[in-house]
Every structure is written in C-alpha cells, then in structure tokens.
Amino acid sequence: MKRATRGRCLEKRNNILIDPRDLAAALGLLTRLPVPIETTRAVARGAAAAWAYPVVGIVVAVIISATVAVMLTLDLPAQIAAALGLGAGVVLTGAMHEDGLADTADGLWGGWDRARRLAIMKDSHIGTYGVIALALTLLIRWLALTALIASGSHWAALIGAAALSRGGMVVLMGAMPNARDTGLSHHVGRPSTATIWLAVAIAGVIGLVTTGFGVVLMAALAVLLCGMIAKAKIGGQTGDILGATQQMTEITVLLAVVAASA
C-alpha cells in the first residue's frame, strides 16, 4: 500500500509542468555547481525537469562571460581571456558535453554497424576521431570567442548559444527514441510534449533577444542535422548524442554571430 501511494505521488509530481526544484535538479545534472537538491525528488522528476536546461545554459554562459570580463580587466589579451573562459566552462560542466562529442565521433564514424557504434560510444577510451573532434571544436570555439570579444558581443552570443544548444538537447530527448536501454539519457527519460515546448520557448526567446531570428534558425538546423545523423547511424539518441548536439549547436551559433558581426 505504501509503495502504491508513493508511486502515485511521484506520478502526480511528474505531471506538474514546473516544479520549484527543477532548476536545482538541472544544475546538478548538467554542471558541477554544488547546488543543494533533494536527490529523491530530483531523480523522480527526471525528464520533467528538462525545461530548465536552457536556463542552466544561461548560468553557464554568464559565468564564462564573467571570467572573460575579469581577465580583460587584468589587461590580458583577448586570446588568453577566451582560452580561460572556455576553461572555466569545461570545469563548470565537468566536460560532459565535450565527452559526449568525443564518444559520438568515435562511435558514429569508427563503427561499421549499429551495435559496434554503440559499443564504441560506451567505451571510456578515446580514439582518433574523438581526439580530432575535440581539438577542432575547441579551436573553433576559441577562435570564435576571441573574435566575439574583439567585437564586444561575447556576452550576448555566449548566452544565446548556451540556451539554444541546451534547448536542442531537450528536443532530441523527446523527438527521438533511446538508442539503448541503459545510460544517462535512458535513465533521465523522455520529456513530455509540454516540457519540450516550454524548453523551446525559453531557448527561443533568449536566442531571439541575444542573437536574432537568423541565428535561431541556424541553431534549429544544427539540431535537426545532428538528429538525422544519429537516427541514420544508431537509430536514436543517447547521452553522448545529446552532448555532441549541444557542442555542435553552440559552435553553429557562435560562428553565425561572428559572421553577422564581421
């Protein structure tokens, strides 16, 4: 009886669109910030808290931008400020999205069939594709951020990129099936339609305000392309696919803003 009652209570909580603890739960999942959360409640909400992912992106972007601002006040060159800002972001997120990108690159292009690709993605070792993907994307992000600092638009660009890229993660979580029945993405679950639309609305508004309609459209295309590749290669999404999508969408937004401001 007690278990049945507890199960009904958890189901009722998950039917609530916004829970006050969702932001803390999302921060605890996507960052290494020491946020006080009630673990049982946060885990029980699962994907229902995904609407807050774009908000987490804003928090991450503000901290990166603030790091860059502090470095610039110390009269450090823009290149060094950009590198330290990216470093702060990696520490803040625990490099979870970068890890997903590396695993995705190794798996999708290192395996010859679905089963092998999934096995490679689950392997903790990094391969040639993963190393190259990390090196190239970090270089591109550093160059883009350096250019944005020079144009004085890095605050808006970083906030827009962080929100849009994490909103894209929520879209793939709900639109695509899990490619495997284990892993972080499967454990978190699939968000409801209402949760997806709320995340899209938050990310879209932030993106429109900070980067403009054209850049938001580019971000949407990047998410769509990542989803199509994942569908073709492994038949769905995993936590690694979500991390790779975040990285590729963020890069797309940063490059689009650089091009627009050139």
SS3 label, residue 16: coil
pLDDT at 131 > cutoff 80: yes
Average pLDDT over residues 178-197: 86
**CA–CA dist 102, 10 (Å, integer):** 35
Instruction: Please give the pLDDT value at position 187.
Output: 77
**CA–CA dist 69, 164 (Å, integer):** 22
- pLDDT grade for 152, boundaries at 50, 70 and 90: very high
Tokens of 90: 């990696």
- pLDDT grade for 225, boundaries at 50, 70 and 90: very high
Single pTM value for the model = 0.92
pLDDT at 28 > cutoff 80: yes
**CA–CA dist 118, 233 (Å, integer):** 9
Average pLDDT over residues 12-34: 83
pLDDT at 230 > cutoff 70: yes
For residues 121 and 242, the answer to whether their CB atoms sit within 8 Å is: no
**CA–CA dist 59, 53 (Å, integer):** 10
pLDDT at 11 > cutoff 70: no
Mean pLDDT, all residues of the chain: 91
Give me the amino acid identity at 1: M
- pLDDT grade for 42, boundaries at 50, 70 and 90: low
